[in-house]
Amino acid sequence: MQAGGVGLALLVTTLAGLATSIGSLLAMAIRPSNRWATTLAMGFSAGAMLLISFVELLPAAAAQFGGGSRGTWLTLAAFLVAFGLAAVADALVPEEPTPAAGGIRPGQVSVRAAAFVAVAIAVHNIPEGMATFFLSLDQAAIGISVAVAVALHNIPEGIAVSAPILAATGSRARAFAYSSLSGLAEPLGAVLAYLVLAPFLSDALFGVLSAAVAGLMVYVSIHQVVPLAHRSELPRPAVIGVLGGMAVMGCSMALLGLTM
């Protein structure tokens, strides 16, 4: 492998990952005190994660396990184990005060919920970064076109990370930082793959990781993000946000599939 090829592949992967920062900037246009807009953004976060989990990650995991009934059972097992571990970890952490009725305001949204979102999407981005890196390393033209689609795919993920952080802390700087760091998980995955994991990578390993991240994302969505959005007493923007998150993420996934 030529150093130039490795450098280009890493640059392409990094730029694709940092598209989460664009989503973060969009999320920061929302004032945390704006209950309607914040609730909409929280719903968007849940919708994006649910669609990623059920439409992208779980089918990919089943295929990586070899398909058929065996692939389905292994995918289900990894999904349920991750969901259960997330629930156990959540139960072991003391509950924070429940926000009062009247809206999601800075400091009232659970920091724990926001952190779960950021970690789940960052972990989800690691195998995505590996795939982008190896495609770019193999054929630069194909890799660059895939990276463009991945970048579009990452913009709503940036919103999904920033919206809960912004609602939890009221800090735009922190929301931007967490969103950017979640995107940098993609070049991190590329570096790990190139320096450490390349000899050990297997379809089964990617299958376990994909299904496990799906389990974590679904748990966060149904146990944290959606209830917090509805607690604002404005269910309509929450539902609109979920639909919007699914629609935007679905369109970006369709573009990614067509490009590949």
Tell me, yes or no, whether 130 lies in a domain: yes
pLDDT digits (tens, 9 = 90+) for 92-131: 765 544 444 444 455 455 677 778 888 888 887 887 788 7
Residue 230: predicted pLDDT? 62
Mean pLDDT comparison of 42-46, 58-62, 157-161, 167-171, highest-scoring range: 58-62
Residue 42 lies in a domain: yes
Phi-psi region of 146 (alpha: psi -120 to 50; beta: other; left: phi over 0): alpha
Instruction: Look at residue 98 in the predicted model and tell me its pLDDT.
Output: 43
Q: How far apart are the C-alpha atoms of 88 and 90, rounded to whole Å?
A: 5
- CA 139 to CA 191: how far, in whole Å? 18
Q: Note the pLDDT of residue 247.
A: 92
In the block, which residue shows the tokens 């959606």?
Answer: 226
Token output for 197: 């994991």
Residue count (the chain): 260
Buried b (16+ CB within 10 A) or exposed e, 14-29: bbbbbbbbbbbbbbbe
Q: How many CB atoms lie within 10 A of CB 215?
A: 26
Structure confidence by residue, pLDDT tens digits, 199-247: 777 888 888 888 998 998 898 888 766 676 666 677 788 889 889 989 9
Mean pLDDT of 147-163: 81
Residue 140 placed within a domain: yes
Amino acid letter at 9?
A
Please report whether residue 47 resides in a domain.
yes
- Containing domain of residue 30, as a range? 3-93+104-259
pLDDT of 226 = 67
Asked if the structure places residue 161 within a domain, the reply is yes
Through-space distance between the first and last CA atoms of the chain, rounded to whole angstroms: 23
User: Rounded to whole angstroms, what are the CA distances from 228 to 164, 238, 244?
Assistant: 10, 9, 17
C-alpha to C-alpha distance for 185 and 196, rounded to whole angstroms: 15
Tell me whether residue 99 is in a domain. no
Q: Pull the structure tokens for residue 173.
A: 């700087």
Q: What is the pLDDT of residues 39-97, one digit of tens each?
A: 787 788 888 889 988 988 899 899 999 999 999 999 999 999 999 998 888 777 655 44
- Please check whether residue 98 lies inside any domain of the structure: no
Tell me how far apart the alpha carbons of residues 171 and 43 are, in angstroms, rounded to a whole number: 19
In total, how many domains does the chain have? 1
Closest CA to 244 of 51, 53, 115, 104: 51
- Between the alpha carbon of residue 165 and those of residues 24, 110, 156, the distances in Å are 10, 9, 15
